[in-house]
Amino acid sequence: MGLLPSLSLLSLFILSPLLTTTTTTVTAQAPPPVFKCTAKSTCTALAGYVSPNTTTLGHIQSLFQLPSLLPLLGANGLPSSTPSTHKVPQNSTVRIPFPCRCTHGSGFSDHVPSYVVVKNDGLFHIASGVFSGLMAYQQIQTVNNITDANLIYVGQTLWIPLPCSCDDVDGQQVVHYAHVVAPNSTVNEIAKEFDTTSPTLMRLNGISDPRKLIAGQVLDVPLKACSSSDVQTSSPADSLLAANGTYIYTANNCSKCTCDAANDYKLQCQPSGLKPANGSTCTGTEAAPPPGKNGAWKVEQVSWSWAIVLVSIQLCRFL
Residue 25, pLDDT score: 36
- The pLDDT value given to residue 20: 52
- pLDDT at position 38: 96
* Residue closest to 112 by CA, chosen among 45, 155, 146, 159: 159
pLDDT of residue 227: 87
Cross-strand bridge partners of residue 10: none
Could you give phi then psi for residue 299, rounded to 5 degrees? -60, -50
Structure confidence at residue 231 (pLDDT): 54
Give the C-alpha separation, 95 to 88, whole Å.
12
- In this predicted structure, what is the pLDDT of residue 85? 99
* β-strands 255-258, 268-271 pairing: antiparallel
In the chain, where the domains are located: 19-225, 231-309
Q: What are the C-alpha distances in Å from 234 to residues 252, 255, 285, 287?
A: 9, 10, 8, 6
Q: What is the 3-state secondary structure (H, E, C) of the chain?
A: CCCCCCCCHHHHHHHCCCEECCCCCCCCCCCCCCCECCCCEEEEEEEEEECCCCEEHHHHHHHCCCCCCHHHHHHCCCCCCCCCCCEECCCCEEEEEEEEEEECCEEEECCCCEEECCCCCCHHHHHHHHCCCCCCHHHHHHHCCCCCCCCEECCCEEECCCEECCCCECCECEEEEEEECCCCCCHHHHHHHCCCCHHHHHHHCCCCCHHHCCCCCEEEEEEEEEEHHHCCCCCCCCCCEEECCCEEEECCCCEEEECCHHHCCCCEEEECCCCCCCCCCCCCCCCCCCCCCCCCHHHHHHHHHHHHHHHHHHHHHHC
Q: What pLDDT, on a 0 to 100 scale, did the predictor assign at position 9? A: 37
Series of mean pLDDT values for 10-residue runs along the chain (319 residues): 39 44 47 95 98 98 98 98 98 98 97 98 97 98 97 98 98 98 98 98 97 96 86 52 96 93 92 82 60 36 35 40
Q: What is the pLDDT of residue 246?
A: 98
pLDDT at 281: 79
Report yes or no: 71 and 94 within 8 Å, Cβ to Cβ: no
